[in-house]
Amino acid sequence: MHDTEQNHLAFTTSIQPARRAWVQAATTVLSASGLSMSLGSAVILLYRGEGDAQQKTLAAQVGINPAAMVRVLDQGEEAGLLIRQDVPDDRRSKTVALLPAGKALARKLEKSLAALRDELLADLTPAEIAAATKALRAFEARAQAYVAGRDDS
């Protein structure tokens, strides 16, 4: 195998284990607040979005199916973190918004996750992090374009 092939293989086979390790570490942080990874992710994404989000869009961003998102949002409503509202012209759609308790928790979670990122990335330079991010984003875009092109055929 040539160096280029070895580098490509090493890159693509490192993505999933790195993601899995990050999710496990982040779950540890989120579980300290009593939240599941799905509910914690939803709270953080809503907070970062600075407004309401469509329930189905939020499910896609969290990475779970819409039926599972319903259960996650039920837990969030029961905990007083968020509220769902009907979309005026579409009774099948709902928007989700954080309540004040959800915003306060999101700020706390963001600080905890920032500390985790700082710890895990401490020995990498900003240039190394920027290069890795650029490579991952380019790979993501090319993989999506590849799939979209295959769907068109």
Domain CATH number, residue 38: 1.10.10.10
Q: Is the dihedral of CA 89, 83, 49, 36 positive or negative?
A: negative
pLDDT in tens, the chain (153 residues): 789 999 999 999 999 999 999 989 999 998 888 888 899 999 999 999 977 899 999 999 999 999 999 999 999 999 999 999 988 887 778 899 999 999 999 999 999 999 999 999 999 999 999 999 999 999 999 999 999 988 765
Q: Which domain range does residue 98 map to?
A: 3-121
Cα(9)–Cα(68) distance, rounded to whole angstroms? Answer: 34
Give yes or no: residues 33 and 105 share one domain: yes
> How many whole angstroms from its chain centre is CA 126?
22
- Give how many domains the chain has, as a whole number: 2
The whole model's pTM is what?
A: 0.82
Cα(112)–Cα(114) distance, rounded to whole angstroms? Answer: 5
Give yes or no: residues 40 and 19 share one domain: yes
